[in-house]
Amino acid sequence: MERRFFELDIDVYVPGRWYFKTPTQLDGQPLEDPWGFTDGVFIPDPGPLRIPLSRPGKPLDFTSAGVGLTPVLNARTAEVFRALAPADVQLFPVQVEGQVEPYFLLVAARTVRCVDEAASEEFKLWTPEDGQPEKVGGYKYVAGLRIDKTKVADERVFRPWGLRSALIVDGDLKAALEQSGIVGGQFVEV
């Protein structure tokens, strides 16, 4: 049976959902690189972090934080990732403003060059004219994302090369998250 893959994103339609600001150091100082959590590579332990609320609301199992759109998970959801994709993820504890329960930043530590440009609805690449030389050749955006599944090896969680905003999970992980009752995330097949 062919493996299936899904983009996991926040569900903006959860009534009364909360929203997070960018993670900070415990003392409130900004992080040097708040986008580093979505680079698709293993990173050094950032140390103790906190996440201030942008808008208070209903605590969720899955959401994202700040400018880097870093995935944030409650302990139950983090355990699913830890159990099914230990080679693909890093989980760093964070303090969420107003919460006593543990939460975790999720780093998808694998990148796969797999965007299927022909099957995706539309895409645009960064060019030198965009004035961001570090992004040239990567995807500025991809609408209707589709991936070439033949390019994916044993990864269960990853970011597509050049598209750090997309968090991809395989069908088994999706099923386990749904069975756990995940609230706050939505899945779109890619």
Mean pLDDT for 22-26 is 96
Is residue 107 pLDDT above 90, yes or no? Answer: yes
One-letter amino acid at 170 equals: D
Tokens representing 188? 């779109």
pLDDT, tens digit, 9 for 90 and up, residues 110-144: 999 999 999 999 999 999 999 999 999 999 999 99
1: pLDDT strictly greater than 80: no
117 Rama sector, left if φ>0, alpha if ψ -120 to 50, beta otherwise:
alpha
Is 173:84 a contact under the CB 8 Å cutoff? yes
Query: Which pLDDT score, from 0 to 100, does residue 24 have?
Result: 97
One-character DSSP codes across 85-105: -TTTEEEEEEEETT--S-EEE
- What is the pLDDT averaged over residues 77-104? 98
pLDDT at 27: 95
Per-residue pLDDT of 142-160, as tens digits, reads 999 999 999 999 999 999 9
Question: Percentage of the chain with pLDDT > 70?
Answer: 100
186 contacts 163 by C-beta, under 8 angstroms: no
Q: What is the pLDDT of residues 28-64, one digit of tens each?
A: 999 999 999 999 999 999 999 999 999 999 999 999 9
Q: What is the mean pLDDT of the chain?
A: 96
Q: 98: which 2 tokens? A: 């107003």
